[in-house]
Structure 1
Amino acid sequence: MENGTELDQVMTGINQAKGLSNAHYIDRDTFEEEKRAVLFASWSGVGFGKDVPEPGDAKPVDFLGMPLLMVRDRDGSLNVFQNTCRHRGMILVEEPRKIEGAIRCPYHSWCYALNGELRSTPHVGGPGQNRHDDVNRSDLGLVQVRSHVWRDVVFVNVDGTADPFEIVHADLLDRWSEFEQPNFHGGESASFKLEVKSNWKLAVENYCESYHLPWVHPGLNSYSRLEDHYHIEKPREYSGQGTLVYRQLKGEANEVFPDYEGLSDKWDEGAEYIAIYPNVLLGVHRDHSYAILLEPRDLDHTVEHVEIYYAAPPKQTPELQSLRDKNAELWRGVFEEDVFVVEGMQRGRHGMLFDGGRFSPVMDGPTHLFHDWVASRLAVARAG
């Protein structure tokens, strides 16, 4: 684990900065430290609203060993609870399912409402005695985890210390305010995942920048060239890239996806791709968007969950299903092209003489900002 001086070398101007040291990618203790100081202390993505679409829908999530439960309440709101019974700590829900009545613990049958309230405690005072003066149900509801849903991504702040999501990401909410309108998931083909043998941070670093396009994405670069891209940089919040050349996908009869309503002219041929720290990657276009949730399974194992959304619901445009399938196939191809790079950097981090690397002062700004943010979160935690 590095000292403050080494973090300081990351948190300096890009012209002199070094990248995060090898320990941040291959050291178990550092991984555990980042789990607490970076992922649990920030607004991290853990799921998607589309996975619990109807009242009563519940889906368990394992977030780095933390058992969580996403639940859609009767009023349509989505809450996240610790997936742990308040009685003896039993896991409440093992698989995604519909909760018809209450969330019932399979151990002693304590039951909770969809809003987390403890509703029944069978035999808690003895056989046939379902109440006890010293067991106050109002104090024993499910432990709620702070959550916020944006662009269908379910964000949580596990340790409860972060500022409200709307404050932390006020700048990005304003930047993409034109897209605050109905967003419809594209269906079965619009949902896929990639298993990547690397630390989760490397996927963020690669996504941030367009520097690698000519060599890793030659097909994409053939029309959306490196020189057509620009940096998106908001220190200590998010970073990414934009392009001035977005080419709409067309079908055999030149059909296209419906556009989001009321967009400004910049989106006619533009698109933006942003990493919202720590682990969510987003892309917006005039006619579709996507979200990638990076699930850190382990030190060197990440699952990329990809979901694609459209301006119109698929059931209203069945004639565009083949185009949606093609769009998903194209994006899968682009994201798969990045896998060998991300996995190669992970293997390279076992080079014990590597010092964290240097950044191009011109081309690596977005990636440097992510390193700076991670280092700053660790510095704060260590100082606390």
Structure 2
Amino acid sequence: MASTDLSGVLQPIEQARGLPNAHYTSDEVYDAERGPLWFSTWAGVCVASEIPQPGDARPLDYLGVPLFVMRGRDGAIRVFQNVCRHRGMILVTEPRRIEGAIRCPYHSWCYSHEGRLVATPHVGGPGQNTHPGIKQEELGLIEVRSHVWMDVVFVNLSGDAPEFAELHAELIERWAEFDVPIYHGGVDSTFQLECRTNWKLAVENYCESYHLPWVHPGLNSYSRLEDHYHIESPGKFGGQGTKVYRQIRGEDGAVFPDFPGLSKKWDTAGEYLTVTPNVMLGVQRDHVFVILLEPRGPRVTLEHIHIYYASPDTSAQLRQKNSDQWKLVFVEDIAVVEGMQAARGAPGFDGGRFSPAMDGPTLLFHQWVASRMQAAPAAAE
């Protein structure tokens, strides 16, 4: 892998350069990022609303690692490596409800919803379902450390990151008023967008409001550039907020119900943050959205969008209108992030510069990437 010089990224904003092109185009850099940027911290893999009932299971490809998420009979969500402990067969191949045991389709080894190995048919020979050399208590599924917050299922593959509540205590406190039941809007409140871009460019674009007048003229007409402020927490999260949030209204003037107990700030404010590496969140008085970034190599990213409300009973027409409005905004960003991706093929581009007044959260994200990559020199060289 060609070496990349990250020293310029870690300079003060007036002198800093952005990440080198290879961090957006190189398969080798993309592979090297898996450990320091994804596996050793907490990343979002799905939302709990996608597995609403006991027995629901959903397979995932987490940067090449096969996982599945399951809601057990006890209602708890668990994440497992999607691999049978016998010969390494994939266990769950499609989203489905598993009423009984989790059964391997290869040799029918079975696991409980909690991951315990409970059956090994014919393992000791025909009709012999046990063998002294196969200790079932030692061969349960490999569970991946997980945590659910704001309905997002976060995982820490390495198992050694600080507790989620410890690492993100500042953000949890900042949005404590939204720590109430939230209700997924259903099929009209979820959609996917495919972007021919590196996942980091999607984060960088979401971090800042600088582009609003030119990329989002409709949004900027009422939530103007000058109404926005920066939010920066080095190494944890960053983004922007607005002092002007306008509730969407139906033709009859109806609005969504507010979340209960909100302070006056939220009458007119909204905040939009990225929890590194890949969870982009937005909170407003009457709804919340989640964008999960799923990298598909260094040049393609899937965005999984989910919208939530304060009540399970909301107008389908109004939900659809809200979904359409946000989809328009997010689609407007696609040409920008794809354009930046295409530009990363230019050898003369040195990472670019940052506006000291407008690009603080974006540089913060670049520096998070650079510092973690530098802390893992064996992976980054």
Q: Please, what TM-score do these two structures have when normalized by structure 1? A: 0.97
1: CA distance, partners of 2:40 / 2:317: 42
Give runs of aligned pairs for residues 217-296 of structure 1, distance below 5 A.
217-296=216-295
Give runs of aligned pairs for residues 59-70 of structure 1, distance below 5 A.
Answer: 59-70=58-69
Paired residue for 1:330?
325
* Contact 2:27 2:297 (8 Å CA) reproduced: no
Q: CA deviation at 1:383?
A: 6.7
Alignment partners' CA distance in 1, 2:195 and 2:3: 29
Name the SS for the 2:6 alignment partner. Answer: helix
8 Å contact from structure 2 (residues 45, 155) kept in 1? yes
Report percent identity of matched pairs: 60
Gaps of 5+ in 2: none
How far the C-alpha of 1:382 sits from its partner, in A, is: 1.3
3-state DSSP class of the match of 1:227?
Answer: helix
1:147-178 alpha-carbon deviations (Å, 9 max, x no partner) = 11111111111122211111111110010000
Select 1:339's aligned residue among 322, 327, 334.
Answer: 334
Which residue pairs with 2:355 in the alignment? 360
Gaps of 5+ in 1: none
Task: Report Cα offsets for 1:159-198 as digits up to 9, x if no partner.
Answer: 2221111111111001000000000001111010000000
Q: Distance in 1 between matches of 2:235 and 2:61?
A: 27
Report how many aligned residue pairs link the two structures. Answer: 379
**Runs of 4+ in structure 1 over 2 Å off:** 1-4
1:168-183 alignment to 2 at 5 Å?
168-183=167-182
Which residue does the alignment assign to 1:92? 91
Residue 311 of structure 2 corresponds to: 312
Tell me the distance in 2 between the aligned counterparts of 1:264 and 1:186: 24
Q: 2:113 and 2:15 mapped to 1: Cα distance?
A: 52
Aligned alpha-carbon RMSD (Å): 1.1
Please list the CA deviations of residues 230-264 of structure 1 after superposition, one character each: whole Å capped at 9, or x if unmatched: 00000111100000000001111211100000000
Corresponding position of 1:300: 299
**1:3 CA drift (Å):** 5.3
Residue 127 of structure 1, CA deviation? 0.9
Aligned to 2:149: 150
Instruction: Give yes or no for the alignment of 1:376 onto 2:371.
Output: yes
User: What one-letter code is carried by the residue in structure 2 that aligns with 1:136?
Assistant: K
In structure 1, distance between residues paired with 2:3 and 2:217: 40
Instruction: Return the letter of the residue paired with 2:217.
Output: P
Aligned-partner Cα distance in 2 for 1:188–1:281: 20
SS of residue matched to 1:71: strand
Q: CA deviation at 1:129?
A: 0.9
SS at match of 1:240: strand
In 2, Cα distance between the equivalents of 1:122 and 1:2?
50
Report what 1:33 is aligned to: 32
On the 8 A contact 2:197/2:300 being kept in 1, the answer is yes
SS in 1 for 2:339: helix
CA distance in 2, matches of 1:134, 1:13: 60
Letter in 2 for 1:37: P
